[in-house]
Structure 1
Amino acid sequence: MRADWVAASARARSMALHRIGAGASREVAAQQALTAALSALQASSYAERLHGVAGLAAAERAVQETVLWRLRVLAGWLPASGTGLARAAAGIFEIENIVALARELSGGAKAPAPYHLGTLATAWPRLRTARTRDELASVLAATAWGDVGAGGPGLLRDALNISWLRRLADLAPAARAWCGAASVLTAARILLLDGDAPSPRMLHLLRPVLGSAWESTTSIDAFTAAIPSSLRGVLDGVASAKDLWRAEARAYSSVEKDGFRLLGSSVPGPDVVLGAVAVLSLDAWRLRAALTAAAAGAGSSEVLDAAA
């Protein structure tokens, strides 16, 4: 690996050390109110953006803003050959911007201020000026996101998520398992939990990963048997579609484990950076789950328990 990745890899490892970790997330979840949970985070790396926030939605947004800021800082350390990886990693935030705008254009709530992506934007500068849903879809089709098909914000998010993960996996082979797991869970939810037929665009996105045999199945067992054998482990222990959330939590945990493994590579390079992005992103996911539990006064989080 070229020496231009050495500094970026060192920075990535350093940033990953600033996570709060699973144990601290459980302590946050055990708080009996959101205010107590936020107080417990005053000395954490999330404190600056959490300061003064009111309400769960604002706290979750602050946590995500922290991740994006770290990604933008890390991108500044990358060599030119790493620009595509950084931009692909930031795609999840562009998805949030796009879905929020689509919801507003469809007559829903006014979109919040978009995440500021700077040079990590894939297509947002062109998309943000759309004035109708049809215009948004037309502009999207001419970008790296591609044709996302028709449907509401939920269907749009699904299509964008799979498109994003496939792009990330193309740039970073270490992320292929993540794309596979997300494809399995998305397809199973649409078909077996929502009871919907996947849109033509979703089928186009999913077939290269899952094949097509699953499309006519009506049970978890049949679905599992119909997908590639290498992906069946994603659904281990899932007895019905109602248990898919447990498999999703385990999948997040698996991504985190992969992230730690990549961070431990002895060779500086893109895999180390990808590992840091995974670890920091999953740390934020755990914290958001913990804040949700604290806001509800639940005393613990089933999501965190399932991911253990």
Structure 2
Amino acid sequence: MKLPAISIVVCVLFILHAACSVESRRSFRSWEYTSIFAFGDSFADVGNTPGKSHGPVSRAWYYPYGESVTTGRAKATGRFSDDKVQSDFLAKTILGLHEAPPAYNRVGFHLYLNGVTFATGGAGVFQVPAANVTTIGQQVDSFERLLKKGTISRSRLRYSVFLVAVSGNDYEPAISNEMLAAKVTDEIVAIVNRLRKLGAKKILVNNMHPLGCAPRRARYGNTGNYTGCDQHGNAIASVHNNLLEQKLANTNDTVLVLDINTAFTKIINGSYGSDQFTNRLRPCCEATDPKGYCGRGDNAGVLEFNFKLDMDHVNSYFYWDEMNPTNAGWKAVMKQLERTIKDFLSTDH
């Protein structure tokens, strides 16, 4: 039976449309995205923390942080890692930018050709007393000021990727509960909606990594000595992630919730990178004092270090310190998320 000519044309157009749709979902054109604007904490910080005092927040400017850097510059770069952090891999490996966006507090007048990082180690959506750094909402305030001044052109936002990296500084072990998770996720959603109103078209939002598996909790977890995760911490992360998914359910066109929880978990349970990561809970840089931290020295600051370090095998560790992954760890996490991110960025914006 011969089909009418109009039916043939409709069929052809349908097939072409379907083919184009598939191609659109599969094709990623990195040149469309010229910059990144990052907000959050140590997962994305590239040097916003103060560097004058040798304390918990400033330690990323001191030995042994940055020990894997081989660029010839001063090793410690203000990153909470032996080298790169999440925002670096998003910029250079996934988007193909020349370099990660610079730290807001480390540059004066700048064209921000690759965007800018406002993320600061120790930050939370609420003020974290122990850190005394900007909240993530205050980081957005700084971004808005640059927009109003014209330092950042609103026309560029269409070609920018926004990253909101919250790693759980609001969740201290003593106060982690479902009520707090509801408040934290409300604030994250408010931050995301504010960025959307300011013109952001593509926003990546981390969900919560398995808090109970972070070395600072796993060290004293259910069995202690890094032999298992703290189940209460993981339960809070699960509540956080369920609430975040629900509250961002209607923003799929502009917001992608990055499932770093699953990416972390696969490495920790050995289903991803098992040949590489033989140390999945114990950190490469471990404080010898239970109240100490990686990078802490004695009162003189240089004569004696109160931590153990295994730089000879750093690539076999998933965690660098009590919370943050190593360079190798972040590489493995972002490799798992790369396809999802590229698919999201390939859709119309």
The TM-score, its normalising length taken from structure 1, stands at: 0.31
| Greater Rg by CA | 2
Structure with greater proportional helix content: 1
Higher relative contact order (CA 8 A, sep 6+): 1
